[in-house]
Amino acid sequence: MKRLRWYLCATVATLALTVPAHSDEQHRLPFRPTLNTYGLPGLIDMPSAHAMPDGELGFTFSHAVTGSRGTLSFQVLPDVTATFRYAGIPDFAPGPGTGTLDVYYDRSFDLHWQVLDERGWRPALAIGIRDIAGTGVYGGEYIVATRHFGPEDRVAVSVGLGWGRLGERNGFTNPLGILDDSFETRPGIVDVLGGTLNTDQFFRGDAAIFGGIEWQASDRLRVQLEYSSDTYREETADGLRPADTSPFNIGATYAINDVFTGGAHVLGGDTFGLSLSLALNPHRPSLPPGAADPAPRPLDVRPRQSTPYDTGWLDQPGGADILRANFEQTFEDQGLYLEHLALDTGRATVRVRNTRYNYSAQALGRVLRAMSASLPPSVEVFEVIFVVEGMDTTRVRVARSNLEALEFHPDGSSLLLAGAGIEDARRVADPVGLELDVPPPRFTWAIGPYLETSVFDPENPFLFNVGVSLRAEYRLGGGFVAEGAIRAPLFGNLEDARIVNAPPPNPPPVVRSDSARYRAENAAYLNRLTLAHYGRPAENLYSRVTVGYLERMYAGVSGELLWQPAASRLGLGVEINHVRARAYDGGFGLRDYSVTTGHVSAYYRLNDDFDLQVDAGRYLAGDWGTTIRLDRTFNNGWRVGAFATFTDVSFESFGEGSFDKGIEVEIPLAWFVGTANTRTLSSTIRPVQRDGGARLNVQGRLHDLVTDYSRPMLQETEAMVWR
């Protein structure tokens, strides 16, 4: 038996390195991988060596008498999957001296790395760590290989080696002990706060073999049979399932459509469970971008002639009125507002405010078409300046002849932007000849529903309020914007939020952990009321000053300065705020606590997919530290990222969670409905909200406003120029 175990261990490692000479092509999987009850590519409870499609966002919910798990999974890279899990385990004792809780809520993070994909006869190989930064209830590590067989690759076989919870059943001495004796023992979890890496646990202690088979019975139905190396020791000890049950689990999943998949399974022959998963992918929209929009007007091409185009129109009486009428007609119903036009006989500059297109290149293409239809033939140079909150951002200069020549060229989009001049709007003066101002609408308002949620409260894992929000905005001109929002909750259970938290030792001032007291108010409240000024003090510089009721919990003044060249991937900013805590009832009252807080920030576009942001400074509790944020940003507006904040508040003083961290997801509404609009659905998932590392929430931060029209972002959305 011992010899068999060593043979299986060797098989997992060596099969992955066996590449037959006759095949070097990657093995193409005909189906998306199954997400197991832990939200990872796998079978039922056991992992496989699969990976989700790149960029995919998966949500999985599973339930059995042993507990419920909700998991958010994201394919960060083509071969790296990251997950966040929130689990509720009934009648569970998480550790010595804690007693048995009615429901124990556990938060954990996982990483799954597909080291090798499937090629020829070589199986895929993956390495994973489960519960990488948590309390260790689900802690385990694994190496697993998966290979497809049979007609159309409908049978997948997985064999793996597990540690921790995956190394319990028929465990044997850790083969990694040949590297170092420390791998042979696995210390107990000592981080009762959770949130820090359990590195002294990884791949240590006894190891065990697991595996399974998945059969794709039809295009929608899959059947799984697995041998589990998890004895469910914790759940068995607390009576959630019988002891000494079968190691075999059986299950089936059914793809309801391209998004939803339902499943049922039996663990060990005695524990029945259900699961539901949904998969969203930025590259797989519900409708193609702009599919429900009217087609753009065709480009107006000038007639070819051997003599120069006439320039006498510049002195024509009533020329300004004619141009105004032309532009109003071509911009009508496009969500584009012409704010200013300056031109001479050869060059025209328009200032435009985009309120509809989340693809910056699509907005550019619509403006260029409007210019081709509205401007006299002698105007050869088109310049577009996008205006955001009254600020000129980027000047895009396009030769009209290039525009006409490239409309139907196979690489027209990339060639057009490659030859365009993209620079700060202040660098070049506008043409002098004829000017036309078109004042935009000053007052706008909107009324609609809102949803406010609170998650991970230890006693109420999901709280919400649904209500009505009234928002109004008035543009005074000169970069001044007055804005306010009132909310009135209609129904929900946010008033059940836990108001009193057990304080950690030597805690920082209470600046966010009393948020439940604000949420408990069930009457209409002032969400924010501000007066802001946006400006351009110099080339490549942007400024903002905001005063008033900045957010639900704080009022005061906020100032910001951003250096962001139009063609650069790097931006630098500084922000300083002086704020005072607002009254709990959401009116105009203030409380005694006040603080001066601020940060210096660096923003860097690492490549076409990833953005890095580093903030260093003083936080709301007066603590000093740094926040690191990494986002994967897709050119259609999708954004999935993670952040972590470390300050001089110790892990013990911070309390449960050890430090502030979270996951942010932002999905453009256009991805769902297929019509152009700039609205987004966004959510920040924090395992726990504490006072250390807390930052002010203020509207209109500059970097998010201006970078959409930088050269990197325009080039990344270049395919939408002609849409």
Write the DSSP assignment of 173-215 as a string of letters: --GGGGT-GGGG--PPP--TT--S--TTTTT-S-EEEEEEEEE
- Distance between CA atoms of residues 578 and 619, nearest Å: 11
Scored b (16 or more CB within 10 A) or e, 382-397 reads bbbbbbbbbbbbbbbb
What average pLDDT does range 545-554 have in this prediction?
Answer: 97
In the chain, how many H helices and how many E strands?
11, 31
Question: Does residue 11 sit in the same domain as residue 139?
Answer: yes
Closest CA to 82 of 34, 39, 146: 39
Report strand pairing: 639-647 vs 124-130: unpaired
Q: Residue 714 — φ and ψ, nearest 5°?
A: -65, -40
Residue 406: inside a domain, yes or no?
A: yes
Question: Does residue 275 sit in the same domain as residue 320?
Answer: no
Instruction: Please give the share of the chain, as a percent, with pLDDT higher than 70.
Output: 90
Closest CA to 506 of 661, 694, 654: 654
More confident position, 695 or 521: 695
Strand ranges, E, within 179-323: 207-216, 221-227, 248-255, 260-267, 271-280
Closest CA to 38 of 78, 9, 92, 81: 81
Q: Which of these three, 280, 300, 329, is where a domain ends?
A: 280
More confident position, 152 or 334: 152
Span of 296-310, 343-357, 392-406, 466-480 with lowest mean pLDDT? 296-310
> What pLDDT is recorded for position 191?
52
Please report the DSSP string for 117-138 in residue order.
--BTTBPEEEEEEESTTS-STT
Q: Is the pLDDT of residue 612 over 90?
A: yes
Q: Is the pLDDT of residue 194 over 70?
A: no
Q: Which of these three, 258, 280, 302, is where a domain ends?
A: 280
CA atoms within 13 A on the CB side of 503: 10
> What pLDDT is recorded for position 13?
42
CB-based contacts of 491: which residues, under 8 Å, 6+ apart?
465, 466, 467
> What pLDDT is recorded for position 26?
42
What average pLDDT does range 495-524 have in this prediction?
Answer: 78
Question: Does residue 246 sit in the same domain as residue 365?
Answer: no
Q: Is the pLDDT of residue 6 over 60?
A: no
> What pLDDT is recorded for position 540?
96
H or E segment at 77?
Answer: strand 67-77
First to last CA, the chain: 65
Question: Does residue 74 sit in the same domain as residue 145?
Answer: yes
> What pLDDT is recorded for position 106?
83
CA atoms within 13 A on the CB side of 278: 4
Q: Is the pLDDT of residue 114 over 90?
A: yes
What average pLDDT does range 206-230 have in this prediction?
Answer: 96
Closest CA to 232 of 249, 220, 218: 249
Report strand pairing: 381-388 vs 347-354: parallel
Question: Does residue 97 sit in the same domain as residue 219?
Answer: yes
CATH number of 162's domain: 2.40.160.40
CA atoms within 13 A on the CB side of 391: 27
What average pLDDT does range 334-358 have in this prediction?
Answer: 89
Question: Does residue 206 sit in the same domain as residue 258?
Answer: yes
Question: pLDDT-based confidence at 284, cuts 50/70/90?
Answer: confident
Kindly report the pTM of this predicted structure.
0.87
> What pLDDT is recorded for position 236?
75
- Distance between CA atoms of residues 558 and 578, nearest Å: 7
CB-based contacts of 461: which residues, under 8 Å, 6+ apart?
86, 88, 105, 455
Q: Helices 360-374 and 319-331 sit at what angle, rounded to 10 degrees?
A: 140
Q: Domain tally for the chain?
A: 2
Question: Does residue 105 sit in the same domain as residue 221?
Answer: yes
Q: Residue 317 — φ and ψ, nearest 5°?
A: -60, 135
Question: pLDDT-based confidence at 22, cuts 50/70/90?
Answer: very low
What average pLDDT does range 395-404 have in this prediction?
Answer: 95
> What pLDDT is recorded for position 574?
98
> What pLDDT is recorded for position 94?
63
Q: Which of these three, 280, 297, 328, is where a domain ends?
A: 280
Residue 39: inside a domain, yes or no?
A: yes
Question: pLDDT-based confidence at 620, cuts 50/70/90?
Answer: very high
**Structure letter (DSSP) for residue 720:** G
Scored b (16 or more CB within 10 A) or e, 185-211 reads ebeebebebbbeebeebbbbbbbbbbb
Span of 193-207, 557-571, 602-616 with lowest mean pLDDT? 193-207
Question: Does residue 257 sit in the same domain as residue 366?
Answer: no
> What pLDDT is recorded for position 279?
93
Residue 45: inside a domain, yes or no?
A: yes
* Cβ proximity of 717 and 360 under 8 Å: yes
Q: Residue 385 — φ and ψ, nearest 5°?
A: -115, 120
User: Whats the size of the chain, residue-wise?
Assistant: 723
Residue 700: inside a domain, yes or no?
A: no
Residue 562: inside a domain, yes or no?
A: no
Tell me the sheet residues that pair with 666.
639, 682
Span of 89-93, 449-453, 631-635, 702-706 with lowest mean pLDDT? 89-93
What average pLDDT does range 422-433 have in this prediction?
Answer: 92
- Distance between CA atoms of residues 398 and 522, nearest Å: 54
> What pLDDT is recorded for position 331?
78
CA atoms within 13 A on the CB side of 502: 6
Question: pLDDT-based confidence at 235, cuts 50/70/90?
Answer: confident
What average pLDDT does range 482-510 have in this prediction?
Answer: 81
Q: What is the largest CA-CA distance in the chain?
A: 99
Question: pLDDT-based confidence at 142, cuts 50/70/90?
Answer: very high
* Cβ proximity of 556 and 580 under 8 Å: yes
What average pLDDT does range 36-48 have in this prediction?
Answer: 95
The encoded tokens of residue 132 equal 């990488």
> What pLDDT is recorded for position 458?
60
Question: Does residue 397 sit in the same domain as residue 253?
Answer: no
Residue 276: inside a domain, yes or no?
A: yes
Q: Is the pLDDT of residue 290 over 70?
A: no
Residue 83: inside a domain, yes or no?
A: yes
> What pLDDT is recorded for position 276?
96
What average pLDDT does range 283-290 have in this prediction?
Answer: 77
Query: In the block, which residue shows the tokens 């920030």?
Result: 601
Q: Is the pLDDT of residue 221 over 50?
A: yes
- Distance between CA atoms of residues 370 and 122, nearest Å: 56
> What pLDDT is recorded for position 21?
32
423 is in which domain, residue-wise?
A: 312-441+712-720
Question: Does residue 211 sit in the same domain as residue 138?
Answer: yes
* Cβ proximity of 52 and 22 under 8 Å: no
What is the Cα 267 distance to its own chain's centre?
34
pLDDT in tens, 144-182: 999 999 888 899 999 999 999 999 999 999 999 898 888
More confident position, 559 or 704: 559
- Distance between CA atoms of residues 721 and 420, nearest Å: 13
pLDDT in tens, 636-690: 889 999 999 999 998 888 877 788 898 999 998 888 888 888 888 888 888 778 8
Q: Which of 129-133, 250-254, 311-315 has the highest mean pLDDT?
A: 250-254
Closest CA to 37 of 64, 74, 77, 75: 64
Question: Does residue 323 sit in the same domain as residue 262?
Answer: no
Average pLDDT taken over every residue of the chain = 87
More confident position, 56 or 672: 56
> What pLDDT is recorded for position 27?
43
Question: Does residue 156 sit in the same domain as residue 273?
Answer: yes
> What pLDDT is recorded for position 502?
61
> What pLDDT is recorded for position 582?
97
> What pLDDT is recorded for position 95?
60
Residue 336: inside a domain, yes or no?
A: yes
